[in-house]
A and B are shown apart, each in its own frame.
Chain A
Amino acid sequence: TVSIQMAGNLWKVHVKAGDQIEKGQEVAILESMKMEIPIVADRSGIVKEVKKKEGDFVNEGDVLLELSNSTQ
C-alpha cells in the first residue's frame, strides 16, 4: 500500500487502478495549510485500488493506494 503522511484535503490523484507506479513517483497532491504537498510512492507496483478520491479529507496514516505485485 501507499499511505498518506499528513492530514489535509486530497487535491489531485494522478493515478488510477491498473497503473504501474514506481517508487519515488508522485502519485497525488494533498492540500493543507494552503500548501500543496506531494504524496510520493515509497514502493513500486500496480495500482489495485485507489482508496480515496479528490476532495476527500484524509488523515495521517490513511491508505491511499492498494498495490499488487508491490516491491520496495
Chain B
Amino acid sequence: MRSTLRKDLIELFSQAGNEFISGQKISDALGCSRTAVWKHIEELRKEGYEVEAVRRKGYRLIKKPGKLSESEIRFGLKTEVMGQHLIYHDVLSSTQKTAHELANNNAPEGTLVVADKQTAGRGRMSRVWHSQEGNGVWMSLILRPDIPLQKTPQLTLLAAVAVVQGIEEAAGIQTDIKWPNDILINGKKTVGILTEMQAEEDRVRSVIIGIGINVNQQPNDFPDELKDIATSLSQAAGEKIDRAGVIQHILLCFEKRYRDYMTHGFTPIKLLWESYALGIGTNMRARTLNGTFYGKALGIDDEGVLLLETNEGIKKIYSADIELG
C-alpha cells in the first residue's frame, strides 16, 4: 500500500513538472489526509528527493536523488516479473552472494538484488569486480527456467542482448558484445555479466545473472590498472545517466527477450546477439587453456559456442579470452 501511494505521489510530481501542486490536490488525488501527504513527502526527502514547499502554492519536486533507492528503481518499472521482487541495499558484500542465498530460500523468478556498493564484488573465476558506491549498477537477477542444464549458457547470451537493448533505450548509447557476454564501448569494457547456476544432477534449480555496469564513473574513478581498459555510459554520453532508468530498461528488455526465448527458443536471441557482436566475419584470436586459435569468426552455434574457421578447419570455442583483429 505504502509504496503504491509513494509511487503515485512521484508520478503526480513528475506530471506537474515545474508547477506547484497544492496539498489539498495531492490528498484528493491519493485519497489520503493532508497529514499523510506531508508524511510521505518527508519520507521522500529522507531518500534524497528535494521537495520545495511554499505557503499557499503547495509542493513541487526540484530534484530526484542521484542516489539509488528501492523507490527509485520501483517507480517506473514496467515489467511484470523481472525485478518485481526487489531487494535493495546500500552496501552488500556481493549481490551475487545474496542472490544465491535467496535462491536457496525459494526466492521467486524475477527476484532482483541491487546494491549501491559492493565490498567484495566479483567477476568470473573469482576475479575482483571494482564496484564503488554512487556510480554503478550492481545487480543480480534470479531465474528459474525449466530448461535442460546444457541450455543454460544460452541465457548468458540472452542477458548480453537485453543489456545492449536496455542501455540503448535508457541512454541512447550503442554498445557492442564481445563473445560471449562482455559489453564494450569503443573497445573498452562497460558491462560485465556473470552467470551462475544452481543445479540438481541434470536439473536447473536456478540461474543467477549478475550484471555490473559502469554508469557514471569518470576516468579518475577507476583504479590505475583499469583506466585504459574500462569506460562508463556517462563518458560515452557526455552527461550523467540515471541509474534507476538503466535498471528499469534492462529489466524490461530482459523480460521481453526471456519470453521470446521461452516461446520460440534460442534462434531469435542468436540473431540479435550476432547483430550486436563485434568481429563476426573477421579474424580473431581465442586463447584457451589448450592453446591459442586464430581464424575467422563465423558466428555462434545453437548452443552459443563460438565457431572459428581456422587453417585446420572449424574449431568450436567453449571457453577463451578473445582478441579481435
Contact = CB atoms under 8 A, between A and B. Distances in A.
Partners in one complex: yes
Interface of A: 5-9, 11, 23-24, 31-38, 40-42, 55, 57, 60
Contacts of A37: 149, 152-153, 197, 199
Counting contact residues on chain B (CB < 8 A from A), the size range is: 20 to 34
Contact of A55 (B181, B193, B289): B289
B206 to A, nearest CB: 12
Q: Pick the most buried of A11, A35, A36, A37: most chain B CB atoms within 10 A of its CB.
A: A35
Contact of A42 (B181, B198, B201): B201
B33 interface: no
Contact of B150 (A5, A23, A24, A42): A5
A42 to B, nearest CB: 5
A35 B156 contact: yes
A42 B199 CA distance: 11
Given A57-B290, A60-B150, A35 B196 contact: yes
A32 B290 contact: no
A24 B201 contact: yes
A8 to B, nearest CB: 5
B150 A6 contact: yes
B319 A31 contact: yes
B202 interface: yes
Given A42-B202, A55-B289, A31 B152 contact: no
B103 to A, nearest CB: 13
Nearest to A55: B289
Interface pairs A-B: 7 shortest CB-CB:
A33-B153, A6-B150, A9-B319, A42-B201, A32-B318, A35-B195, A33-B180
